[in-house]
Structure 1
Amino acid sequence: MADQTQVGAPSAENVESAKVKMRARDVSVYYGNKKAIDEVSVDVFSEYVTAFIGPSGCGKSTFLRALNRMNDTIPSARVEGTIELDGEDIYSSGMDVVQLRARVGMVFQKPNPFPKSIYDNVAYGPKIHGLAEGKTELDAIVEKSLTRAGLWEEVKDRLQDSGTALSGGQQQRLCIARAIAVDPEVILMDEPCSALDPIATARIEELIDDLRGRYAIVIVTHSMQQAARVSQRTAFFHLGHLVEYGHTSDIFTNPKQQRTQDYITGRYG
């Protein structure tokens, strides 16, 4: 599988000056005896939004969950290879998984606000991680997070209302606010717009663009148009393999692999 490593590990001359935030090498994920991911190597850069695309069941969400050890919650799951965050192996025995998931936050496909107030949804993480010394500091974190998530102006007068009473698009932005409230370094988004209408989707895409540069962002999407709009790097997965990884413009206009070309042009998927 040496060719897969070459595909996923950009050479020094084509990464420009971008900083590698997460580095995955030869990562395989198993569910019992079934291999869902086969020796995938990818670099995630601080300055970029990275999109994972590919047909349903190709392994892109499985690989995304490996980046913050969400697969640990599945008893049959096993991960091989190495994934590093700032050079530290996230699967090492000394890694605090709770702290890892604060540093590498996750926004899921379906909005999942806690059955709490809007305020408490955002304040929950900073409270349990001890990021605020008092209510004034906590208030500031909540306001800043909701502002960055593009939601503050819509909810500032009803912070005690239930988060579940918001619209779907607002709930997803609340979940993004909740993720960034603990000051993460990476945000993983697993098809964050798939349950939303086009207007709410556009708001989330604008938000992703606003957040780029503050956080390394990785998004799994079924929409090639969305990947083209929001990302700077794109990885194409097929049948558990990483077929091609590079600058988004190159993947969509000048792919190196025939399988990528076939998927982009709609011959399968």
Structure 2
Amino acid sequence: MSAKDVSVFYGDKKAIDGVSIDIPTEYVTAFIGPSGCGKSTFLRTLNRMNDTIPSARVEGAIELDGQDIYRSGMDVVQLRARVGMVFQKPNPFPKSIYENISYGPKIHGLAEGKDELDAIVEKSLRRAGLWEEVKDRLQDSGTALSGGQQQRLCIARAIAVDPEVILMDEPCSALDPIATAKIEELIAELNGRYAIVIVTHSMQQAARVSQRTAFFHLGKMVEYGRTSDIFTNPLEQRTQDYITGRYG
């Protein structure tokens, strides 16, 4: 994906100001910055989640495989299958574990018959590191799982439709340290199969899971580069001030 000079407005208020970034397939990209800096707002532009907010307006261009995702005629349902989203709070459907995973492949016509659907469900749960924990209770409700399991279920649900990009908006902020470690291990395992973008308040997490980091402040992207460079040798004073705890 690539974004060129993207600005986001809520009514007259400019929340994002002229952000340009290329998001590579082969890396995990982290968005960091203080609360209210625009990182989650920008993340939501990448699969048009801001369309759900009546006052929101996006300017600039965001391309997926060279096609502008904001062009007229873009099938937004199809876009959100190609660019999956995992939210801050786990949000499994109030359905069985099996139905949580099979729902997307069914509506997108990715499986012919139950055998193919079964295979997709198993493969997705295996990739999410959840299969061994739930394989004997696939008909139990997804909401009966622990918080960390629910979040992995949501990741399995996102990858079941074979996306190109996975967006994660603070996926560990509601989880305990053990569940957080499992999600981070999962991100490392998925790295390279999908372009992954994670918004996180934890600079330690960004340093652990990402290879590229973008620092946002007051609606602007201040700096973007290799994670190791951002944390050890930033080019901008504002980045240095944030990562050393002078503000945020």
Q: Tell me the TM-score normalised to structure 1 length.
A: 0.92
* Superposition map of 1:74-93 within 5 A: 74-93=53-72
- Structure-2 separation of matches of 1:36 and 1:90: 20
Whole-angstrom distance in 2 between the partners of 1:231 and 1:155: 29
Indicate the SS of the match to 1:68. coil
Gap runs ≥5 in structure 2: none
Tell me how many residue pairs correspond in the alignment: 248
* Structure 2 residue aligned with 1:163: 142
SS in 2 for 1:47: coil
Post-superposition Cα deviations, 1:98-154, rounded to whole Å, max 9, x if no partner, equal: 110000000000000000000000000001001000000000000000000000000
- What is the percent sequence identity of the aligned residues? 89
Q: Deviations over 1:155-183 (max 9, x none)?
A: 00000000000000000000000000000
**Structure 2 residue corresponding to 1:247, chosen from 198, 207, 226:** 226
1:107 corresponds to 2:76: no
Measured in 2, the distance between the counterparts of 1:113 and 1:56 equals 26
Q: Which runs of 5+ in 1 are unaligned?
A: 1-21
| SS of corresponding position for 1:147 | helix
Determine if the alignment matches structure 1 residue 220 to structure 2 residue 199. yes
Residue 192 (structure 1) aligned with residue 171 (structure 2): yes
Structure 1 segment 104-183 matched on structure 2, within 5 A: 104-183=83-162
Counterpart CA distance in 2 for 1:213 and 1:95 is 26
Whole-Å Cα distance in 1 between the matches of residues 206 and 66 of structure 2? Answer: 27
Measured in 1, the distance between the counterparts of 2:151 and 2:12 equals 35
4+ aligned runs moved over 2 Å, structure 1: none
Please name the residue that 1:14 is paired with. Answer: none
What is the alpha-carbon root mean square deviation over aligned residues?
0.3
Instruction: Give the Cα separation in 1 of the matches to 2:177 and 2:204.
Output: 13
Deviation of 1:94 after TM superposition, in Å, equals 2.2
Deviations 1:27-73 (A, max 9, x none): 00000000000000011000000000000000000000000000000
d(CA) in 1 for partners of 2:170 and 2:124? 21
